[in-house]
Structure 1
Amino acid sequence: MTRTTDVFPEGYLSMRRRRLAALLAVPLLFAAACGTDKGTGATSASSSALQVTGEAGKQPQVKFPGGSPAKTSSVNMLSEGTGESFKKGDSVLANLTVFDWDGKKNAMAGSTYTSKPELIKVDDKLPKVLFDAFHKVKPGGRFVAVVAPADSYTKEDLEQAKQQGIDTSNPKVFVFDPVRAVPVMIKGTGADPEVKGVKLESPEGAAPKLSTKTDEKAPKELISKTVIEGDGAKVEKGQTIMVQYTGKIWGTDREFDSSWAKGGAPVSFPIGVGQVIKGWDQSLVGAKAGSRLLVSIPPDLGYGKQGQPQANIKGTDTLVFVVDVLGSY
């Protein structure tokens, strides 16, 4: 699936919403696969038969029962957590550990405890067993879920996985430790960025409105203006940052990418370590959570002379972004 988000920033935005093939092949980069209306019942081989040890918030260990793996999906709430339950539409920062339940080795396929938590959107694109579980758990809680291909994915997903040579005969076991919900938008009244040629509106409770239609010459230097000052922690070099953003081309008002236009789910990626374009690394490190920034990025700090043909960005284009900094970890 090709989208403009697959090319900015440097592929990291595409990690957030992968389908079944990626879920089975690279479970650490957890993302959505289409759910069905099945998958919440238990069988003799189910989530309740799995013995999970370890405290929530730390690497779990799972002991599997003997015999064949489960054929249907199920969930077992191990620890409820505290605070408010998650709801549909929330983006949840969570740790997860994944196992291949093959009835033999039952090997661990990966864990965010060896890297960093994942950002997961609670919506209908999740397998229903996980969608339901996130509505029952709270921050600091833990649940174990069996996700069986037979009742958690569409025929299209299964066929796609088969064509890629991925084994869909066995279920995956997920141990989830939700950390917290991430806000989808910031609060506050936006100031005028005072950049000639750029207009920005910040309506309360709605996505910002950016206009870059102008005859003004694009600035040659990097410009970063804070139009709403947050009061959260500062983003540090090497952290994973969570943002909403819209990107346009200076002078044309052409939008080439936007998280708002793709459902308004926050996106996350490493910052300050060369994994995104230089203009983002230089402007977002040090920003406070809860802030909105207007950033104008000249070509040499964007995609350089080669541009980015996939997104119709030329080597002479100046990129303009409005970025909401939601948090970092």
Structure 2
Amino acid sequence: MAEPRRRTTTVAREDYPRTAPGPGSDPARVFEAYENEGHADPGAAWASFTTDWNWAATLPHAVAESGPDSPPVARPVPGGYSLSGRWHLPGDTEVGRWLALPLAGPGGAAREDATVIRPDRPDVFVIASKVLPRPTDAGLHAVRFPADSDARFRLDGVHVPAGFAAHSSGAALPTQDIGFLWTAVAGMALGAASRLADELAVLGPRVAPPFFSPAATAAELSALLRQERLGFTAEPYNRPGLGRLISLAARESLADRVRRAAMLVHHVVTAAYEKAIPFPAKDGQHPLESLVVDSAAVLQHLRFTVDLLLIEDVGSATGT
């Protein structure tokens, strides 16, 4: 069994080192850098990533209405944010399965309420269009609104998972950078899953019964993660003659590879959490609860990342 990576002390987001490469960099290098960040501190890695890169830029955006009766607000709640306020869809807006809702009003003016919007909190929130209320003058499930119409709607406490939020101040990721986004998110999520396996291995020696071996489970999970890792790091070396040395995952499209990673991460989180249940809780918490909570945002995003950005010509943008 390989020795687990040493646990890294959590640091504040503003002090987190930004060494990861950006769009246009070698995909294997992108994956490795973000995997390391996800392993070190998944919460800080995701916060830094969404501050640097506005992944929601390619989605259709509604316009916030900063009226006195129902101004747009996003309040932090467990697992994400509670979104309320009024928005409207400009005429001729094409609406797909996902819609981005910014807190900024017309002209980009954001509310001056420190309890609602702050520089260290996201200000763009993505929701599934199916949860929007149907207005009386237009159907939000139409593909396109007439040029002379404005579809207005109001939300009241809609839950937005933390992984569905971004910062408008971050650099917009255009269509051609979707491959970078998918690779970076998969790297952070697999790094977080690897950290969970490492922590489970550390818990293992505390248990006496031979039939219950968290350490063995951790070793199995780590092996699966290493195999999946080849799909993202070995591709540059997948030349003729090396086919038998490269995992099947490395020969899949990037979108399929990300979906595989999402399924594996879900399996790792479930298995690690279940295996750690018998261990004594700390302050009433599951032994791995704080790490799972810190990983939640990037894991949420990985689960839907391909579906969120299924836009025209995405295949050519990712080279698949």
TM-score range, shorter chain: under 0.3
Q: Which has the higher contact order (CA 8 A, sep 6+)?
A: 2
Greater strand percent: which structure?
1
Greater helix percent: which structure?
2
Superposition TM-score, scaled by structure 1 size: 0.25
Superposition TM-score, scaled by structure 2 size: 0.26
